[in-house]
Amino acid sequence: MATFQYIAKDAEGNETRGTVEAGDRNSAIATVRAQGLFPTAIGEVRSSAPAQPAAAPKKNARRGRAPAAPEGGEKKKGKGLNMEIKITLPKFLRGKVKTKILTQFTRQLATLVNAGLPLMRGIDVLKRQMKDPQMLEALDGISENIAAGGTFSEALTQFPKIFDNLYINMVKAGEAGGVLEVVLGRLAEFAEKSEKIKNKVKGAMIYPIVVLMAAVGITGFLLVTVIPKFKQVFADMMGGAELPAITQFVIDASEYVQHNGLVVVAAVAAIVLAKKLIGKTEKGAYLFDVMALKMPVTGTLVQRTAVSRLTRTLGTLLSSGVPILQSLVIVRDTTGNRVVSNAIQNVHDAVKEGEGMTGPLSQCWVFPPMVVSMVEVGEETGALADMLTRVANTYDDEVDNAVAGMTAAIEPALIIVLAVVVGTIVVAMFLPMIKIISSVSGGAS
């Protein structure tokens, strides 16, 4: 029999610590759960054993990982002349952990915990197969915090760039209710669906961007390279005769681009910079968010995406046991649109005063009547989380339809624009040629 030390939550969410005697970890978990507790961390209490400084580096080396270096990147010496150096990039040079990696970690951890594996053991298993250095560093820190007596949610707060407030608060709710594996599964599902919608929107924008870049490139090439040669031909063969208006317009545009190319580039850069600076102000950012929601073609897609994300986030939080006021604060800070954030703040204030969500939602033009009605039914029946999830599923389908419709509308429009631009240049160059050929034919007769 071995002694296991555990950290657990009772039915009311109070933390309890203690020890149990059991043959293995699974038996220890079963014993703790038999007491009506929900373990969040458990580990075997071992007697102090002699260190093995020579074996540890070799084991780490076989796994492809260098032993941890002390702060400052200094060398770490073992016995003898063996030395290992761990080189890490400064934090400001590191990129963000990809959503795919975080989602995969969450899904795998949920599976391991649901299978009865202790949380610490599950994290150790995932550490061995983790290849992302930033995520691996975070898992090392999480393991250390839990081993020191902290909870999983407390450990996650040490890495805010990887685990946002939504993730941390849902884990905290799962710990309090003893359903951590369920919450982790919901988190993974939420991340997968959010990433799916994001990828669909990005995919729909690839074709228009490629066509626009091609149009700009072709137009620039014609104006800078081809038009000047035609201009010289017209000057030699027409003897200073007046050119057609469309031809003169194209030649003037070509000369402007040639002599003021840097001015054009600087003007575009200034517009982009001004947009960013204005977007950093509260009023400017709010204005851009309103414009994004009311754009003729893309506005509907942005609105439906915002509603889908909001309802899914709020539904996931409520179904995981996070209090409604705390859930509304998290949703408000993760919407990504200030118009929606202001509406959620109004909902938060109304709920705080004991009112319902329906009134403030109906006053914001972003939320369609169907969404407001579903929320009202959810409040009356006590199934708000379920109703919000249904709304999110509905709007996921509408986002798919909006993406398909936008793609179908943009593709022919861009092709027409490209044809008009290139066609105008071609016609402008051929009109004088027709005039020259006509004059030559008339002179010959």
Q: What is the pLDDT of residues 65-112, one digit of tens each?
A: 444 444 444 444 444 444 434 444 444 445 578 888 888 898 899 888
Most confident range (mean pLDDT) of 14-23, 64-73, 169-178, 348-357 is 348-357
CA dihedral 359, 363, 367, 370 (to 10 degrees): 50
Which pLDDT score, from 0 to 100, does residue 77 have?
40
* pLDDT over 70 (residue 442): no
Confidence of residue 309 (pLDDT cuts 50, 70, 90): confident
Q: Which helix (H) or strand (E) holds 43?
A: strand 38-44
Residues paired with 43 in a beta bridge? 5
Q: Mean pLDDT throughout 369-392?
A: 90
The percentage of the chain sitting over the pLDDT mark of 70, rounded to a whole number, equals 86
Cα–Cα dist 407/419, whole Å = 18
Which pLDDT score, from 0 to 100, does residue 49 have?
41
Which pLDDT score, from 0 to 100, does residue 68 have?
44
Confidence of residue 443 (pLDDT cuts 50, 70, 90): low
Which pLDDT score, from 0 to 100, does residue 348 have?
92
* pLDDT over 60 (residue 177): yes
* pLDDT over 50 (residue 58): no
Query: pLDDT per residue over 27-53, tens digit each?
Result: 777 788 788 777 777 777 765 444 444
Q: Which two tokens stand for residue 412?
A: 């022919």
| Residue given tokens 């910079």 in the structure block | 273
Give 306 or 55, the one with higher predicted confidence: 306
* CA separation, residue 314 to residues 336, 389, 405 (Å): 14, 8, 28
Q: Which two tokens stand for residue 47?
A: 């007697």
Q: Which two tokens stand for residue 444?
A: 């010959």
Q: Which two tokens stand for residue 10?
A: 């009772």
Confidence of residue 331 (pLDDT cuts 50, 70, 90): confident
Cα–Cα dist 186/56, whole Å = 37
Q: In 3-state terms, what secondary structure has residue 44?
A: strand
Which pLDDT score, from 0 to 100, does residue 178 have?
75
CB–CB of 351/324 below 8 Å? yes
Q: Mean pLDDT throughout 286-290?
A: 89
* pLDDT over 50 (residue 59): no
DSSP code for 223: I
Q: At what angle do helices 324-334 and 338-352 cross, to 10 degrees?
A: 170
DSSP code for 78: -
* pLDDT over 60 (residue 444): no
